[in-house]
């Protein structure tokens, strides 16, 4: 789900911080001095973007196929053509055609698509949406194969033949926006042999890992964070949650109407932490968990860690009639937790470049330690991925934003981070839109791939691409609609809906959640026909919060409020 109301809070939070800093550091002004200007986002100049649409055949989209749209630049980034960025939308929605991260502004061809059942009546994908499960994974795989130049569209055209500007299929990567990072990693892991030529992946604040999607440690949807989580533990690879007060109330509902807004089933019942032990959820003081849904299944899907805790502490969730039992939850999240595939990806893609992008006020997670960032960064680091960085080289950001390089963070490549001070590694808030950071990240990744540059850069950008192109060549007439993206105005950061559905909760027993491989057949449950979801995509300026540690050191055993040790945090 996407939280529209959160989007504008992010800019406001960054602006407030900047204003406070100014008021604290500047000398007092005389009565005649000019007032300090209000802080505002620096919006880089945007040249006109043009796109062309088509359908890509897929076994999970019978008939027309998958709706695909490609935004292309007038001037490709390289002499051999434009590198290609496949954008995987966030949230839980099926439509990514309204999502743009403006990578064309850096000379990229940007591929957008709708999962089966997504899009609009005029231009959409056929098939059934399965909430980012096996069907959606096959669809993403087929879109990636098309981007890699290995398959053709419904008229037999490769991407090179379709796009009016030159493109290069030797430099193709993924830009996973928020929850889009999970399905991107799952698909890369399952279909590694077919997708082995992918060059890089960039993930924007992706809630990859246990308990992060839906956000069960505290998200932008919640009034407060989950105080039963041990801050800093996620960076160790084992997010710790004290489940002793877990409870269930059948006749209550968390955020009624929120799921219906996105075409998902609304199911009564709340799993929460009963701090006052009265058996009744007090939404003003007690943290309630968020659930995921599956098309055609009227059950709440909570993380396996939570459902096991219900069993362990003898909590009856209504006979499991409306809540997925531990086995069902395990199966559901095994299909959707990208962290389970990190090891396979590091082995199957030996030259893969990975950049995680994170800002000081996360658009979805609310814990101070940025648990999802620390967890995923260390997962890649410990598996020795060829190239890893948290946030792009500041010289790339400065070039795009036309600002001083000192405004942006400078994290070293493939280096452990200070898990006790994660904010120091995060990009600042309220200076530029979030898509500027992802533009810089994919530009750096593609340049590094082209130059085989995996170490620290003595000079950057490697390719000083000027964003001053004239109008892109017009797309040839076609039988599918042309989706020409509109240039965003200030405060409208990309149309990249910061998916606000993210969290899989503390995985205290990683070995119990084993990656599964490409299915011989489609899911056991035949989902109902999913409606074509075309909810408007909010602008990219969501609200965020402080960060946390990323060391690989286990937190010292500590006694909790009732005097019991770490075993209380262990997975049931």
State the CB neighbour count (10 A cutoff) for residue 458.
6
CB 112 within 8 A of CB 136: no
- Specify whether 153 is located in the same domain as 289: no
Mean pLDDT of 431-445: 97
**CB < 8 Å & 24+ apart, contacts of 322-329:** 322/267, 322/268, 322/269, 322/298, 323/248, 323/269, 323/271, 323/291, 323/299, 324/299, 324/300, 328/299, 328/301, 329/301, 329/302, 329/303, 329/304
Tokens for 163, please give them. 């796009």
Please indicate, yes or no, if residue 2 is contained in any of the structural domains: no
Question: Does pLDDT of 264 surpass 90?
Answer: no
Residue 416 and residue 281 share a domain: no
- Judge whether 148 lies within some domain: yes
pLDDT band at 252 (very low <50, low <70, confident <90, very high): very high
* pLDDT score at 39: 66
> pLDDT tier at 56 (50, 70, 90 boundaries)?
very high
Domain stop point among 489, 512, 535 = 512
- Work out the pLDDT band at 338, boundaries 50, 70, 90: very high
Residue 550 domain flag: no
Give, as one character, the DSSP assignment of residue 40: -
| Cα–Cα distance, 71 to 49 (Å, whole number) | 7
Nearest-angstrom CA–CA distance, 423 and 359: 8
Top pLDDT among 170 and 472 is at 170
Is 445:200 a contact under the CB 8 Å cutoff? yes
pLDDT of residue 483: 53
pLDDT per position as a tens digit, 279-330: 999 999 999 999 999 988 999 999 999 999 999 999 999 999 999 999 999 9
> Is 225 part of a structural domain of the chain?
no
For residues 548 and 231, the answer to whether their CB atoms sit within 8 Å is: yes
Pick from 503, 505, 500: which is nearest to 233 by CA? 505
Q: What is the pLDDT of residues 446-465, one digit of tens each?
A: 999 999 999 999 999 999 99
Given this model, what pLDDT does residue 205 score? 97
pLDDT at 44: 87
- What is the span of the domain harbouring residue 271? 233-328
Please tell me which of 43-52, 122-131, 474-483 the model is most confident about, judged by mean pLDDT.
122-131
If pLDDT is split at 50, 70 and 90, which confidence band does 477 have? low
107 and 198, same structural domain? yes
Decide if 520 is inside a domain: no
Residue 228: is its pLDDT beyond 70? yes
Alpha-carbon span 216 to 342, nearest angstrom: 22
Pairing of strands 82-88, 270-273: unpaired
175 membership: H or E segment, kind and range: strand 167-177
Same domain, 372 and 297: no
- The pLDDT, as a whole number, for residue 255 is 86
Contact in structure between 425 and 547 (CB atoms under 8 Å): yes
Query: What is the per-residue pLDDT across 506-564, written as a single tens digit (0 to 9) for each?
Result: 222 332 343 333 333 323 222 233 233 233 333 323 333 333 333 333 333 333 333 33
Query: What's the CA gap between 321 and 196, in Å, rounded?
Result: 42
Q: Domain tally for the chain? A: 2
Same domain, 168 and 117: yes
pLDDT band at 474 (very low <50, low <70, confident <90, very high): low
Q: Same domain for 132 and 244?
A: no
Which of the two residues, 221 and 485, has the higher pLDDT score?
Answer: 221
- Cis peptide, bond prior to residue 214, ω within 30 of zero: yes
Pair (501, 373) in one structural domain: yes
Mean pLDDT of 14-25: 42
Of 490, 512, 534, the position where a domain reaches its end is: 512
pLDDT tens figures, 341-379:
999 999 999 999 999 999 999 999 999 999 999 999 999
Q: Looking at residue 37, what is its pLDDT? A: 67
Please report the pLDDT score of residue 449 as a whole number: 98
CATH code, 95: 3.40.50.1820
The DSSP secondary-structure symbol of 510 reads G
The answer to whether the CB of 535 falls within 8 A of the CB of 134 is no
Tens-digit pLDDT profile for residues 59-94: 999 999 999 999 999 999 999 999 999 999 999 889
Residue 403, pLDDT > 70, answer: yes
Residue 115 lies in a domain: yes
Q: What is the predicted pLDDT for the residue at 249? A: 97
Task: Identify whether residues 187 and 61 lie together within a single domain.
Answer: yes
Q: How far is CA 477 from CA 52, 110, 113, 162, 470, in A?
A: 9, 19, 19, 11, 21
Among 295, 328, 361, residue at a domain's last position: 328
Token pair, residue 267, equals 């199911």
| Same domain as 427, residue 402 | yes
Range of weakest confidence among 19-28, 221-230, 294-303, 501-510? 501-510
Look at residue 258 in the predicted model and tell me its pLDDT: 80
Whether residues 324 and 341 share a domain: the answer is no
How much is the pLDDT for 557? 35
530 part of a folded domain = no
Confidence of residue 467 (pLDDT cuts 50, 70, 90): confident
pTM, entire model: 0.79
Q: What is the pLDDT of residues 133-192, one digit of tens each?
A: 999 999 999 999 999 999 999 999 999 999 999 999 999 999 999 999 999 999 999 999
Instruction: Tell me the helices (H) and strands (E) count for the chain, helix number first.
Output: 10, 12
Q: Nearest 5 degrees, angle CA 396-CA 401-CA 402? A: 95
For residues 344 and 486, state if they share a domain: yes
Q: Is the peptide bond before 461 cis (omega within 30 degrees of 0)?
A: yes
Q: How far apart are CA 88 and CA 95, in angstroms?
A: 10
Query: Please, are residues 544 and 360 in contact by the beta-carbon 8 Å criterion?
Result: yes
DSSP string, 91-151: TT-SB-TT----GGGGT-EEEEEB-TT-B-SSSB--S---SSSHHHHHHHHHHHHHHTTSS
Domain membership flag for residue 308 = yes
Place of tokens 């980012």: 132
Residues 308 and 412 in one domain: no
């Amino acid at each position: 789900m996407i939280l529209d109301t959160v989007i504008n809070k992010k800019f406001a939070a960054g602006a407030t911080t900047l204003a406070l800093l100014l008021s604290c550091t500047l000398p007092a002004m005389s009565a005649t001095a000019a007032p300090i200007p209000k802080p505002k986002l620096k919006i880089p100049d945007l040249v006109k973007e043009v796109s062309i649409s088509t359908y890509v055949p897929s076994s999970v989209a019978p008939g027309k196929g998958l709706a695909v749209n490609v935004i292309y630049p007038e001037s490709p980034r390289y002499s051999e053509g434009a590198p290609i960025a496949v954008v995987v939308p966030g949230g839980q929605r099926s439509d990514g055609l309204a999502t743009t991260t403006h990578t064309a502004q850096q000379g990229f061809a940007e591929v957008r698509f709708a999962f089966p059942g997504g899009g609009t009546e005029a231009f959409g994908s056929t098939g059934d949406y399965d909430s980012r499960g096996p069907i959606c994974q096959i669809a993403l795989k087929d879109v990636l194969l098309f981007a890699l130049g290995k398959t053709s569209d419904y008229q037999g055209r490769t991407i090179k033949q379709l796009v009016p500007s030159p493109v290069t299929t030797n430099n193709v990567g993924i830009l996973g926006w928020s929850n889009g990072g999970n399905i991107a990693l799952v698909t890369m892991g399952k279909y590694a042999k077919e997708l082995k030529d992918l060059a890089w992946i960039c993930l924007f604040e992706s809630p990859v890992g246990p308990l992060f999607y839906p956000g069960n440690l505290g998200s932008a949807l919640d009034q407060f964070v989950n105080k039963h989580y041990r801050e800093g533990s996620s960076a160790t690879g084992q997010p710790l949650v004290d489940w002793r007060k877990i409870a269930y109330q059948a006749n209550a509902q968390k955020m009624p109407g929120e799921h219906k807004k996105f075409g998902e089933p609304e199911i009564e019942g709340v799993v929460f932490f009963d701090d006052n032990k009265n058996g009744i959820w007090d939404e003003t003081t007690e943290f309630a968990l968020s659930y995921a849904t599956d098309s055609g299944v009227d059950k709440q899907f909570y993380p396996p860690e939570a459902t096991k805790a219900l069993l362990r502490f003898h909590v009856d969730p209504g006979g499991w009639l409306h809540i997925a039992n531990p086995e069902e939850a395990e199966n559901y999240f095994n299909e959707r937790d990208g962290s389970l595939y990190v090891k396979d990806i590091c082995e199957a893609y030996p030259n893969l470049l990975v950049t995680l992008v994170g800002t000081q006020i996360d658009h979805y997670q609310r814990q101070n330690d940025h648990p999802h960032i620390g967890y995923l960064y260390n997962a890649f680091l410990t598996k020795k991925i060829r190239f890893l960085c948290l946030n792009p080289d500041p010289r790339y950001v400065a070039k795009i934003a036309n600002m001083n390089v000192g405004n942006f963070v400078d994290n070293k490549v493939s280096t452990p981070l200070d898990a006790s001070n994660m904010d120091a590694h995060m990009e600042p808030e309220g200076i530029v839109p979030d898509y500027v950071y992802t533009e810089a990240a994919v530009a750096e990744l593609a340049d590094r791939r082209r130059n085989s540059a995996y170490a620290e850069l003595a000079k950057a950008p490697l390719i000083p691409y000027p964003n001053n192109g004239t109008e892109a060549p017009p797309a040839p007439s076609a039988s599918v609609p042309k989706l020409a993206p509109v240039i965003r105005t200030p405060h409208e950061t990309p149309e990249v809906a910061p998916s606000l559905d993210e969290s899989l909760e503390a995985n205290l027993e990683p070995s119990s959640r084993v990656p599964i491989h490409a299915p011989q057949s489609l899911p056991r449950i035949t989902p109902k026909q999913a409606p074509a979801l075309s909810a408007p995509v909010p602008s990219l300026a969501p609200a965020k919060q402080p960060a946390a540690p990323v060391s690989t050191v286990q937190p010292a055993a500590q006694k909790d409020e009732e005097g019991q040790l770490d075993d209380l945090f262990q997975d049931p």
